[in-house]
Amino acid sequence: MSVTGNTAPRFTALGYLRAFITLLVVAHHAVLAYHPYAPPPTAMDAPSWLWTAFPVVDAHRFAGVDLFVGFNDAFFMALMFLLSGLFAWPSLRRKAAVPYVRGRLLRLGAPFLWAAALVAPLAYYPTYLQGGGEGVAGFVHAWLSLGAWPAGPAWFLWVLLVFDAIAALVYRLAPNAPDVIGQWLSSRAPLACFGVFALVASIAYVALALAVDPFQWAHAGPFFVQTSRVLLYACYFAVGVVLGASGVANGLLAEGGRLARRWIGWTVATPVAYLVLVVAFVMVVSNPHPSRALVVFTDVAFVVSGLVSSFAALAIFLRFATRPVRMFDSLSRDAFGIYLLHYPFVTWLQFALLGLAWPGAVKGMLVFVGAVMLSWGTVAVYRRVRTAHVRIAAYS
């Protein structure tokens, strides 16, 4: 999310990729209400916290959307951390550690607190209503009685802020280390980079996935994170940092470079890797007592599938999304705001459609389009108001 709104032309592809992932996030949340295996609607005071992932559940389902959700889940947030890490080291060189962290606190910390305090309660109010609750006062009481404060998709911001702070500490202690690693990594062929990345990421993920429930979320107050994936996300962010340290426009991520030229191979490999993951996952869940070897294989398949998808996405955008397009520039500029604001629009649209006997596929598409347009429009209005305010202040 740290790709700036004023993306330089040479970073057009990465800015557009970030915007594309943001749309995947909105689509992911839009269709969860119609997931074939979504749990029944539950009250907010239920022992299970599944309602935080499925805030609204519709009786009409979307057959096959579980494959889309699973595919997204394997890669899109991890890739977002990599994209965010790409510009960390250049910013640290330009600003130094303390000013950099101060800037990230404003850029990430303040929006996170705002999202946790206002956006998340707005998003989860339909959950309270579907669970049989009535009235704002009752919702406030139920919300404050939770013992935690779900922040929804904004969890990404505080985790990224922690990673940025760690990067700043590394910059103070070993300012040249990422440059050396990044130059070594960028000088290798894409397949060799993939191999090194896959090995490190598999170790990082499997170690935690075997120790905790892979679907478990740790939380304290508004700070939620999927426990088994913390090290995996850190790995992606670190790879982004070292690649960015050696020059974002050079090496592996050069527009039209070696990775981009091999986009067909990575694109073909993506469904193959995901199919292996799906088969392995089905074998695990269909066996009451799966062997440890099968569980480890499934965890590694999860990492490999996500990494292949990430390389394919990078390759496609580095190959084809190198020329600025006005609409895409606008979407890229407003992607951060769309990410912050989309969740209440998603849940309220899902709630509004509950009484309609329409297919889940139709509802999911309507929620996706509606949430994108409403959140994007809100960001656009905010920009206009802010610009007008600045102009008025300048002439007053």
**Contact status, residue 70 vs residue 278, Cβ threshold 8 Å:** yes
Each residue's pLDDT tens digit, 219-233 = 899 999 999 999 999
Please give the share of the chain, as a percent, with pLDDT higher than 90: 76
Scored b (16 or more CB within 10 A) or e, 357-377 reads eeebbebbbbbbebbbebbbe
Residue 70 phi, psi dihedral angles, 5° rounding: -65, -40
DSSP secondary structure string, 303-331?
HHHHHHHHHHHHHHHHHH--S--HHHHHH
- The SS3 assignment for 235 reads helix
Q: How many CA atoms lie within 13 A of 330 on its CB side?
A: 10
* Residue partners of 328: CB distance under 8 A and separation at least 6: 16, 19, 321
Measured distance CA(82)–CA(86) in Å, rounded: 6
User: What pTM was computed for the model?
Assistant: 0.92
- Least confidently predicted of 19-28, 95-104, 173-182, 205-214: 173-182
Beta strands at 223-226 and 217-220: parallel, antiparallel or unpaired: antiparallel
Each residue's pLDDT tens digit, 316-372 = 999 999 888 999 999 999 999 999 999 999 999 999 999 999 999 999 999 999 999
* Residue partners of 168: CB distance under 8 A and separation at least 6: 92, 97, 98, 100, 101
Residue range 282-291: average pLDDT? 93
- The SS3 assignment for 36 reads coil
**Would you tell me how many other CB atoms lie within 10 Å of the CB of residue 228?**
23
Question: In terms of C-beta density within 10 A (0-12 exposed, 13-18 middle, 19 or more buried), how is residue 124 classed?
Answer: buried
Each residue's pLDDT tens digit, 91-118 = 999 999 999 999 999 999 999 999 999 9
**Contact status, residue 343 vs residue 29, Cβ threshold 8 Å:** yes
Measured distance CA(391)–CA(38) in Å, rounded: 49
**Would you tell me how many other CB atoms lie within 10 Å of the CB of residue 70?**
15
